[in-house]
């Protein structure tokens, strides 16, 4: 009997294919590849991670934070639990949770307890332009995390999760839900979903060119006579 794959199964297979396609690539390769197709800024620098060596890759879901005001924003409605499930929807596996601080970059967006939801639901990881708490706990999870640094203080009295799956800006880079996010030790890059295949192919071509250049340099004896 033939088996017709449903949308969730097809998306899972696509995610596996794309995850294998980024193996061996660096953020710089993807930024160079994006630069050959687009002129807009797509990369972020100066990120810190409690999970060194892990690559973050997946489709973005977003949460935009807003200055806390319990008189206007009921904490029973505007909290990370509610906004998380609103953002990830019914198909959270492999997604990248992007948390936009809206310039509150020294404030904690979450920590080991609240972000354990990513572990439970199989997300690829989290990216934020602000800080995260509990690096030791985050390092024990399976997902990758990239942020501006570690925080020691709860940030809920300063900012609160406000909107899910809206376009956001991190470090001058626009992130639209559904875009692909890649991050490693050197930085992060966002890729429009419609260009993902071309960008990955171009990045692999760049990496191959660099490998050939390194091999040629290794054979050099010195300057020509």
pLDDT score of 46: 95
Sort strands 131-133 and 96-100 into parallel, antiparallel or unpaired.
unpaired
User: Assign residue 102 a region: left if phi > 0, alpha if psi is -120 to 50, beta otherwise?
Assistant: left
pLDDT score of 33: 94
Beta-carbon contacts of residue 59 (< 8 Å; ≥ 6 apart): 15, 94, 95, 96, 178, 179, 180, 181, 193
Tell me how far apart the alpha carbons of residues 135 and 198 are, in angstroms, rounded to a whole number: 35
How distant, in Å, are the alpha carbons of 42, 114, 135, 156 from that of 149?
21, 17, 9, 17
The DSSP bridge partners found for residue 202 are none
Q: What is the mean pLDDT of the chain?
A: 89
pLDDT score of 218: 80
pLDDT score of 159: 96
Q: pLDDT tens digits, residue range 90-113? A: 999 999 999 999 999 999 999 999
Residues in the chain: 225
pLDDT score of 4: 45
Q: pLDDT tens digits, residue range 125-144? A: 999 999 999 999 999 999 99
Question: Low-confidence residues of the chain, pLDDT below 70?
Answer: 1-19, 209, 213, 222-225
How distant, in Å, are the alpha carbons of 10, 173, 216 from that of 14?
6, 25, 36
pTM, full prediction = 0.87
Take residue 138 and report the two structure tokens written for it. 């985050």
């Amino acid at each position: 009997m033939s088996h017709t794959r449903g949308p969730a199964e097809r998306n899972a297979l696509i995610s596996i294919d794309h995850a294998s396609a980024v193996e061996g690539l660096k953020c710089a390769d993807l930024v160079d590849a994006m630069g050959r197709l687009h002129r807009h800024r797509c990369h972020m620098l100066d990120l810190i991670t409690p999970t060194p060596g892990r690559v973050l890759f997946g489709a973005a879901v977003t949460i935009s934070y807003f200055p806390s005001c319990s008189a206007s924003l009921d904490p029973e409605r505007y909290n990370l639990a509610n906004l998380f499930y609103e953002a990830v929807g019914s198909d959270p596996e492999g997604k990248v949770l992007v948390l936009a601080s809206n310039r509150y970059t020294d404030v904690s967006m979450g920590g080991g307890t609240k972000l354990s939801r990513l572990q439970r639901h199989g997300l690829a990881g989290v990216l934020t332009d602000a800080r995260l708490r509990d690096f030791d706990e985050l390092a024990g999870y399976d997902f990758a995390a990239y942020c501006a640094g570690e925080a020691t203080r709860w940030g809920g009295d300063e900012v609160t999760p406000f909107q899910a799956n809206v376009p956001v800006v991190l470090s001058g880079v626009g992130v639209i839900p559904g875009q692909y996010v890649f991050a490693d030790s050197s930085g992060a890059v966002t890729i429009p979903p419609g260009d993902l295949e071309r960008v990955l192919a171009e990045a692999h071509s760049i990496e191959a060119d660099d490998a050939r250049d390194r091999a040629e340099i290794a054979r050099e004896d010195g300057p020509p006579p």
